[in-house]
Structure 1
């Protein structure tokens, strides 16, 4: 009997112990304050994703502005090295996770302290921020631009060098936007690596206004007969060989010329201005001439009647020291073979 009693007692103790182990969780269900799961805490601590830039969220400002480039540097700072104004070009402005590429009138330069004054990124930055935001500007980005993104800036873009972009990709760049009813004004500053100066650029957007007129097929024929060649102005995407839609009528007229003159064979020559690297310009002009040839063969013109070659900046027809001259040099020529 004693052995049976001890056995029953042991079983009862074991059962009591098991029930005791369950009680804390039972109590937690009714009285303890619930604790967040580890996974929930990790999600809450994760950084929020960067907000995609949307120009429509920037308020339109009507505060008074002077004339381009609008801003004077703070006291004891000056523009130095090369600084220039270009009448029309494209500039890459960083906005959080990508480059915006507005086109228009551009000012660019380097900034340093005047003699006897020490340069300060902080001082310069605070001054510029105050004056820009004071006329309705918004800071849309302030960060170091990823190196793999800076490689998207074309090598022949003049601002790639010291003036303008500065040491982009190795320092914190700050981008501002002033949105106006009739235009946008972009400003970007980038300090230099050695902390002795900064680069900045200002762009005022304006729509591209074509000054070219459409040359009809019969006019092309007359000039080819008289001179053996004719310069045409076909618009392409910036630094690409993609023909813009507004230039399709020019392609149509070349196709009419060749269709009406079945024995005519021509060379399509691509030309650029002298901005940027010669090798890049040569390749770009070749690709653009090839794009015109492809467009014509796509319209039924026999490829055997067409040659395509690029000459880069080797044969200018105007002075490359002016924007007007550069625009004339960026052309496609049709040459009678």
Structure 2
């Protein structure tokens, strides 16, 4: 059961944040100490301290009851425009005063709009949401306009970029909340749209990635290459980069073993992506990743003349990109027998 949203006064404007600085203490003139000629002169008045940066560990742990993910129902008269989009595992960007935190886990994201016959109100909506989130133990960690150039750190092919307000995040006050639990963190973020007709919001529940992939041995690679002429491998890279992650090194080792024990074998290394982001960026990224695999193999002593590398991008999916499972299958490196 989702928590019922209560309508009470809380913060202003869009969700997720709290960036107001604390006022310095003032000293009563009656408590001022008179100095003598032997007393060290008083230090000049200190400048207003800079607001302390975000510290996740400073957020108190909450054990208040929560319903099922994504935890919060909308107030009467409002609805989710895209019918509750959920990604089982991904990374999202949450603004916390001076930078983006990048938690990974299960993500809900959508646009909130007013139903037909209902006038839309940012204030009504955000006060309702603030009440229910803080009532569930949430802490507003940031509430401010995000600097104009900040969104540039979000990769262009991040599929959430234009679904959660990132596209216009610097044009409105973005609010970020964190509910810190003993077993997970729950992030919530709101950004109003440019035209004042909706709010983009997302909820992320952190969780560890369950590794379900298994290592394909060199002998299995050889058998599949002989029978099918190609094999799909799932090599993990840093997000939007061509850096091969350490957990994929054993797969590189098995490809090297395959090539070392089959001296006459020549292969093409093809990079493939899902359809998140632009086709041009995906083509470039897949080319860079294919070249990274080639470079890793030549560094292990494989003759570069036996290898070619090519980026295919999103053009040859092997599964439906409409599902997370399909997208994961499409993000692959294929070894093709030449």
Over the residues paired in the alignment, what is the CA RMSD in angstroms? 2.0
Task: Assess, with a 3 A threshold, how the Cα gap between structure 1 residues 165 and 155 changes in structure 2: closer, same or farther.
Answer: same
Q: What is aligned with 2:289?
A: 288
In 2, distance between residues paired with 1:183 and 1:331?
A: 30
In structure 2, how many angstroms separate the alpha carbons of the residues matched to 1:263 and 1:162?
A: 49
Match of 2:241 in 1: 240
Distance (whole Å) between structure 1 residues aligned to residue 178 and residue 141 of structure 2: 7
Q: Secondary structure at the match of 2:175?
A: strand
Match of 1:150 in 2: 151
Q: What is the rounded CA distance, in whole Å, between the counterparts of 1:116 and 1:188 in structure 2?
A: 27
Larger helix percent? 1
The aligned residue for residue 231 of structure 2 is 230
Asked if the contact 2:165–2:192 (Cα under 8 Å) also holds between the matched residues in 1, the reply is: no
**Which fold has the larger relative contact order, with Cα–Cα distance below 8 Å and residues 6 or more apart in sequence?**
2
- Counterparts of 1:206 and 1:290, CA distance in 2: 32
Structure 1 window deviating more from structure 2 (111-120 vs 89-98): it is 111-120
Task: State the TM-score, normalized to the length of structure 2.
Answer: 0.85
1:229-277 CA deviation, whole Å, 9 max, x = no partner? 1110011111111111111100110111111112211111000111111
Q: Which residue of 1 aligns with 2:74?
A: 73
Within 5 A, what are the aligned runs for 1:179-218?
179-218=180-219
Gaps of 5+ in 2: 1-33
Deviations 1:4-50 (A, max 9, x none): xxxxxxxxxxxxxxxxxxxxxxxx9859x99867xx24xx2x33223
Cα gap change, 1:30/1:139 in structure 2, threshold over 3 Å: closer, same or farther?
Answer: closer
The answer (yes or no) to whether the contact 1:221–1:257 under 8 Å persists in 2 is yes
Instruction: Determine the structure 2 residue equivalent to 1:16.
Output: none
Partner of 2:64: 63
Q: Following the alignment from structure 2 to structure 1, what is the Cα–Cα distance between the partners of residues 36 and 100?
A: 56
Counterpart Cα distance in 1 of 2:254 and 2:300? 11
Q: TM-score, normalised by structure 1?
A: 0.85
Q: What residue is the counterpart of 1:3 in the other structure?
A: none
Query: When the two structures are aligned, how many residues end up with a matched partner?
Result: 304
